[in-house]
């Protein structure tokens, strides 16, 4: 998939979407007995929280998965302070690896993977989730790339519709796409695992007049 096949989170069309905060509370998915990855446990204690409607939709989405397959939740809400840190670190990493890139190219490549912190990043709203699938034995399904792996390390196999993944991985991604799409989530096509509801990216692609979630620090 090329850069022109989808809008980056930093695209002006996304930034231009207004926000009309609905003040839904954050709900901890641990209280709903979701299977939760521990990969963020030492990073931020509130990573298992999402907006109330997001939690409701995730519960509903489970019915669209095959028997024996369930969600493995990786991350929801992320404070702006952590978003700034992640953005700075990834920007510095790519600048070091690619000294030939100018600022325009650097920002474009960084924002394929990390939303800029200055304008309501999806995870800061509690409306975005990182999620994958596991089988009845608790083993993660083959999705063609590791969740959260940066695109510079896997030849863009993290793109949702990447060409160079196995048929099995593509089929597993289709399961995820079907279940989450049925309940109203929108995927960020640069990351097969990133889905959202209520944020600016969702509002644009769902043809809504505004986002209903703003940032929560």
Q: Is 149 in the active site?
A: no
Check the annotation: does 205 bind a ligand: no
Choosing from 24, 75, 109, 191, the catalytic residue is: 191
> Is 28 annotated for ligand binding?
no
Please name every residue paired with 50 in a beta bridge, in sequence order, or none if there are none. 27
How far is it, in rounded angstroms, from Cα 122 to Cα 77? 9
Question: Please, what sign has the CA dihedral across residues 111, 117, 120, 126?
Answer: positive
Does residue 188 contact residue 122 with C-beta atoms inside 8 Å? yes
**How many whole angstroms separate alpha carbon 41 and alpha carbon 43?**
6
Which helix (H) or strand (E) covers residue 203, if one does? helix 200-205
| Residue 215 backbone dihedrals phi, psi, to 5 degrees | -70, 145
Is 194 annotated in a binding site? The answer is yes
Beta-carbon contacts of residue 56 (< 8 Å; ≥ 6 apart): none
Question: Which residues carry a binding-site annotation?
Answer: 123, 130, 194
Catalytic sites, residue numbers: 191
Known binding residues for Zn(2+): 123, 130, 194
């Amino acid at each position: 998939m090329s850069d022109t096949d989808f809008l980056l989170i930093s695209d002006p069309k996304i930034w231009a979407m207004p926000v009309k905060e609905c003040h839904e509370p954050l709900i901890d998915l641990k209280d709903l007995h979701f299977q939760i990855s521990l990969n963020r446990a030492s990073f931020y204690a509130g990573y298992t929280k999402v907006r109330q409607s997001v939690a409701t939709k995730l519960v509903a989405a489970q019915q669209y998965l095959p028997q024996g397959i369930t969600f493995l939740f990786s991350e929801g809400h992320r404070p702006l302070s952590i978003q700034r840190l992640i953005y700075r670190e990834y920007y510095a990493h790519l600048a070091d690896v690619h000294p030939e890139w100018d600022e325009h190219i650097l920002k474009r490549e960084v924002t394929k993977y990390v939303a800029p912190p200055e304008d309501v990043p999806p995870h800061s709203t509690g409306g975005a989730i990182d999620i994958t699938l596991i089988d009845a034995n608790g083993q993660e399904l083959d999705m063609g790339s590791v969740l959260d792996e940066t695109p510079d390390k896997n030849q863009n196999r993290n793109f949702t519709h990447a060409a160079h993944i196995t048929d099995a991985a593509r089929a597993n991604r289709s399961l995820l796409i079907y279940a989450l799409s049925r309940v109203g989530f929108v995927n960020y096509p640069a990351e097969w695992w990133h889905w959202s509801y209520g944020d600016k990216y969702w509002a644009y692609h769902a043809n809504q007049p505004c986002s209903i979630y703003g940032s929560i620090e």
